[in-house]
Amino acid sequence: MAARLLLPLFLLLLPGLRVLEAQGLPYRRVILTEVGETPLTGITCMAEDDRGFLWLGSVSGLLKYDGNALEIFSNRPNDSTSLVPGPYVQIKKSHRTEALWIASSTSGLSFLDLRNERATNFTADQTDTSALISNDIADLYEDANGGLWVGTNKFTLHYLPPGASANQFQRFQPDIPDESVSDRAAAGPLGEIIADRNNPDILWVGSRFGVYRFDKKRRAFTLFPFDQNIEFWYRPVDLELFMDPSGAIWSGSESTGLCRLDPTTGQWRILKKPEASPPLLYANTIKDICALDEHNLLVLTYADDTWKLNWETQTLEFLRIGVYQPNGRPYGFLCAQSTRAGDFWLAYQTGLLRLTKHASNWGFLSFPDLNPQLDKNNWQRAYAISPDKQSLYIGTLRGNGLLVYALKKNRIEAFPYRKPEGLESTDVLMSALCFDKTGRCWIGSDTGLLYLDRGARQIQRFTNSSPEFDSLRDAQIGALAWQGQHLWIGTKGRGLFRLDTRSNQIFRLREAGLTSASTINCLLADEQGRLWIGHELGLSAIQLKTGKSWYFNHQQRPPTGLTNDQITCLAIDAAGHLWISTLGGGLLRLHKADPEHPWFDAYYNNGVPGGNLVYQFVLCDQGKVWLGVQSGLAILDTTTRAFVNYDNRDGMYAKIGAMIRLPDGRIASGAHRGIQLFHPDSVLHSSAPPVPYLKRFRVFDAEIELPFQIDRMPAITLAHNQNHFSFELGALNFGEKARTSFAYQLEGYDQNWVYSGTRNYISYTNLPAGAYTLRVKAANKHGIWSTQVKTIRIIIQPPYWQTWWFRLGALVLLCALTYGIFIAWQQRKRTLKTQRTVEYFANADYQKASVRDILWDLSHKCIARLGLEDCVIYLLDESGETLVQEAAYGLKGPEPYHLNDPLRIPLGQGIVGAAALKGLPELVPDTRLDRRYIVDDQARLSELAVPILHDGQVIGVIDSEHSRRGFFTQYHVQTLKTIAALCSDKIASARAEELVQEKERQLRELNRNLAESQLTALRAQMNPHFLFNCLNSINWYIIKNQPADASRYIAKFSRLVRLILEHSRSAQISLTQELEALQLYLDMEAMRFDQRFEYEISIDPALEPDDAMVPPLIFQPYIENAIWHGLMPKKGAGHLRINIRKDGEHIRCTIEDDGIGRAAAAANSSHHTRKRQSQGLKITESRLRQHNQQENGVSPVQFTDLYDTAGQAAGTRVEVFVKEGIL
């Protein structure tokens, strides 16, 4: 993109702007030497684009001018879309698209697309014959087909086909006509290039040798030579060409004068300005030729100002419209450009000269031009329109006296007045004028009251014999007013006087806030008979008939008081409102001029310094008020309350002088040596409203890449994080001393228009996402707003989480999630209910429950936990062919374990029978449509029957009905199937348990009988063994020849045998009886073994030996084993401890010896002994098991090997557990 430099709008044209009349042309000259801080020097080419922008080519760059500011485009080496380097010598507007062709004299050609302000460049390439032959471009011409013709140095004409974006040039080269010219480089350039008016196939091409006629079809050159070749000085120059309507070719270049070629005859005619003395350098050098009007051409020269050529008469008029140097010579012109507005822009060496037909806004009536005798400054302090409205009377400040300007005749005469005491001094100050009913003009001056004697055609001093006249005689009179027969006279510092013209008496008023020292600034008599007095202390009013008075000052602010006490001017509008100007408080309006009910409305002009210092004002049509203020002129639109100011930027100065509206509507305003005379409507509509456009767009104060220039984009889309952006505004405004104001509104954000004055920068920050429309309008310095409003749509995309699709998706997702959660919650709830139900049935302890209990519980829990209305359990009878109702909750089973008329359903009949027959669930959503339905207690609309299977065989059916159609779902099917599967085993187990219990009862009876038989048999097996051991002991005593011991032993033995015989008749004996037999046995064994061991028997006090029952001789075999196999083999004395205590429902007998241990005993015993001992212990253990009712499991006898601290065998402990019997 081309480099650009934007100059602020407030840097206006004043430093380089002058307005003069163009001598010899019906144009005004406007001289422009700089725009802002950019000097307009060396402009060599110009063009106006389709939108009205003026493009200026110079050495430093390409300038885009909108009437207010410049943008500069230049080459940027790092940007391929910028222009080729300058100097730029030609700018031609493309006709086929919005673009400019820009030629450089050093670097080639650029095609600048105005839509995006990016350039496509074409440069010379010596290796490419389809490229330019030279980068020194002389001229360009785009034909009607869009093809571009380019004349360059090296004497070559090029053609680029329409739409070509790369080098596709065709080269055309005429022969060099002068043999003295060595090569094409010396032959110079071809250009200018113009089209033939009558034949589109003909081009006219300038050269140093003459003018070529080029036939595009034949591709042939025809030369119309000069008599003498053009001499090149510092560098080659091209030849300016123009074809007039007659077909003649006008040309000119370096010192050639203006040359005319008649193509039909080939004849030349040369027109030149006579040589000056001394001769001027570059005299008769032609720089440009353009059409001035239908009959004339404007010829720009480098040293001879401008020429006006009548092409029909072939006569020249030498004009003086240029800008002249201090040495009296004009600056050289360089190029010209006409615009659609009818203006001519002429570039000269140090600036631009604009020729326009628009009249000046501020007309000026020069007194010396009308009357050369008016040689004084003649600053005007008072105006008055004559009663016949034909003349304007003018009171001056020590000028040529009273001036009378005939409005229609445009003549002016003077009536001087000198003070009698100073006849040689300048005239007096005339600060007030007034006509009485006779037509006499009264004059208030700084030397008293004067009047004009029309008969004597001179000014007379008023004299009077009234006592008050002495105070008025030499007073400075600042205000006059006529009312009835009275002349009211306001003085500076001497108060208010009234002159009664009938009685010739003078009176001084001292009321309504007035004193004899008051300074009166203005007076106004209204139609209601009131006199309004503006003075330095406020506003006073007097009702002349009644003498009632009113006084207002700034102590009471509006709406009941004033903004400032210094009143300067008064006027009443057509609606009857009183307008009051103040010196510092702006303008006031008293509603309906009503002093009884005052309502003051204030209008403040704060736009310029001194805008509220109002000296004079006039009321105009359509609610407009023109004011003379400290800063210049201002206009108030009372409808909008807006002020437009004209100040030093418009050549204005403080309007302290007089101001009045003339009968024809024009306004006269006091000035030096004349009157500033203008019509309000002409000023307001003197220039077209500006056309606003967008210059730049930035996001976060940085320019962003755009496909087109921002002003050419109908809309722009931004991301959500690009919501801080700004626009730079511009306006096409070629009005004289243009000052552009802007207003903007961002629809969708701003409620109203934002009026930014001359500030041309818009910024918005942190805008929410959405669609907006920026509207921009512009106003000229007259406050006229543009009819065109620039708009651009701005779309700030929301972040994805704020987009409708995301929100819709989120809403859908939320709804789906909520629904899913709800469904999942329901499913979870139902699953948990099912799980609890299944867990209930899975964990139900039906071990002691009957089948009937299980079935009734199943029916009840299915209704309670699954929300069923009815649940009936069927079981197959013993035949396996019929299903019988066994349990039901609902109407069928109003009470537990009670059924009303239980049904019996054969297999295969009804829905229940079908489920049982198939072994599969039967789900019937609508029983009305199923003929198998069997009505039980009442008809219902849906039914579910699930078979109860055990080991693949149907044993029953769970059946449920519901009053709602379609109530049952696969959920119910799966749940009831699970429950049926869990309960089938329990039902089968309960059935089997019932059978087992019956069998067990029979078996217990059989076992009891069998146990008694077994105990008897076991005792029979034990008794012979014991007797055998005892007889062996007796035998031993006899062998040892110990008869006494044998006798004691036999006694004890007989006692023991008697006890054994007694006890053998009983299955259980008391523990006392058992211990008695054991003690006898131990005594016998101690005797037998010569007291080699000691024994000890201890009994748990918790035991009642007389009540505890044990099998007889149940402990003896283990005691015997401890003695024989533990103690007897031991060397030395042994110990035997027997401890009996209660252990739960058992009696635990602990037998502990300190013998040799089981391992040593086993090694010492013979095989036979081991076998016999083992047999005895087995018999006893079997007795214990039988007694303890232990078929399997833990042994009732536990052996423990004992060891000493050295790890040597230290005995054996035997624990015998006997289930305690109850006596």
| 1033 has a pLDDT exceeding 70 | no
Query: Six-digit token pair at 428?
Result: 């007096």
Question: For the chain, what percent of residues have pLDDT higher than 70?
Answer: 92
pLDDT value at position 487?
A: 95
The percentage of residues in the chain with a pLDDT greater than 90, rounded to a whole number, is: 51
- The predicted structure's pLDDT at residue 1191: 60
Residue 19 has pLDDT above 50, yes or no: no
State pLDDT tens for residues 279-292: 777 889 999 999 99
* b/e code 1026-1053 from CB counts within 10 Å (16+ = b): beebbeebbeebeeeeeeebbeebbebb
Both tokens of residue 939?
A: 């008809």
What's phi and psi for 1082, nearest 5 deg?
A: -65, -40
Residue 84's pLDDT is what?
Answer: 96
* pLDDT greater than 60 at residue 26: yes
pLDDT of residue 65: 96
Per-residue pLDDT reduced to its tens digit, 781-800: 888 899 899 999 999 999 98
Q: What is the pLDDT of residues 959-977, one digit of tens each?
A: 989 999 999 988 888 888 8
Tokens linked to 40: 């307009």
Cβ-contact 978, 835 below 8 angstroms: no
Single-letter code of the amino acid located at 350: T
Cα of first residue to Cα of last residue in the chain, in angstroms, is 123
The torsion angles phi and psi of 191, rounded to 5 degrees, stand at 155, 150
Q: Band of the pLDDT at 449, cuts 50, 70, 90?
A: very high
pLDDT over threshold 60, residue 825 = yes
Express the helix, strand and coil content of the chain in percent, nearest 5 each: 20, 40, 40
Instruction: Provide the pLDDT for residue 923.
Output: 92
- Per-residue confidence band for 24, with pLDDT thresholds at 50, 70 and 90: low
Identify the weakest region by mean pLDDT among 278-287, 909-918, 985-994.
Answer: 985-994
So what's the pLDDT on residue 420?
A: 65
Q: What is the pLDDT of residues 422-440, one digit of tens each?
A: 555 657 899 999 999 989 9
Please compute the mean of the pLDDT values over residues 1077-1098 and round it to a whole number.
Answer: 86
Residue 1188, pLDDT score: 78
Beta strands in 526-629 (DSSP E): 530-535, 538-543, 549-552, 567-572, 578-582, 587-590, 600-603, 614-619, 624-629
What burial class does residue 840 get, using C-beta atoms within 10 Å of its C-beta: 0-12 exposed, 13-18 middle, 19+ buried? Answer: middle
Average pLDDT over residues 40-66: 94
Q: CA 924, CA 940: separation in Å to the nearest integer?
A: 11
Closest CA to 176 of 223, 218, 137: 223
Q: Which range (155-159, 274-278, 632-636) has the least confidence?
A: 274-278
Cβ neighbours of residue 670 closer than 8 Å, sequence gap 6 or more: 379, 380, 381, 383, 655, 656, 657, 658, 659, 676
131: number of CA atoms within 13 Å, CB side? 14
SS3 85: coil
| Residue ranges of domains in the chain, CATH in brackets | 14-356 (2.130.10.10), 691-802 (2.60.40.10), 844-984 (3.30.450.40), 1042-1222 (3.30.565.10)
Distance CA 1064, CA 1124 (A): 25
The lowest-confidence range among 39-43, 821-825, 972-976, 1030-1034 is: 1030-1034
Q: Mean pLDDT, the chain, as a whole number?
A: 87
Q: Which of 6-10, 248-252, 725-729, 913-917 has the lowest mean pLDDT?
A: 6-10
Amino acid 1092: pLDDT: 85
- Which of 75-89, 342-356, 588-602, 1067-1081 bottoms out in mean pLDDT, i.e. has the lowest? 1067-1081
Chain centroid to Cα 1165, Å, comes to 108
Q: How confident is the model at residue 1196 (pLDDT cuts 50, 70, 90)?
A: confident
Whole-angstrom distance, CA of residue 1077 vs CA of residue 897: 59
Residue 9: per-residue pLDDT: 26
pLDDT tens readout for residues 1046-1078:
777 788 888 887 888 788 778 788 888 889 888
pLDDT at 11: 24
Res 287: pLDDT: 95
How far apart are alpha carbons 783 and 61 in whole angstroms? 34
Mean pLDDT to the nearest integer, 1191-1199: 77
Q: What is the pLDDT of residues 858-874, one digit of tens each?
A: 778 777 777 788 889 89
pLDDT computed for residue 1055 by the predictor: 83
